[in-house]
Amino acid sequence: MNPATAIVGIVLIVLVAVVIRSMIRDKKNGKNLQCGGDCSKCRGRCG
């Protein structure tokens, strides 16, 4: 693996890690719920 390929791979891994972390954070904050966090619309069926 040449250095350029390695750098691209590292950047991709970091990007994926950031996206996954933000997804987990949103889920904890309720932003990832089907109702968008507004349980008056889903009547609590989102879980």
Question: In terms of C-beta distances under 8 Å and separation of at least 24 residues, what long-range contacts does 33-41 make, across chains too?
Answer: none
Closer by beta carbon to Zn ion, 21 or else 45: 45
The DSSP annotation for 27-42 comes to HHHTTTSTTTT-HHHH
Question: How far apart (Å, rounded) are the C-alpha atoms in residues 30 and 25?
Answer: 9
Stretch that binds Zn ion, among 5-13, 17-25, 30-38 (CB under 5 A): 30-38
Closer by beta carbon to Zn ion, 6 or else 29: 29
CB of 32 to Zn ion, least distance (A): 11
Chain contacts with Zn ion (rule: CB under 5 A) = 33, 35, 39, 42, 46
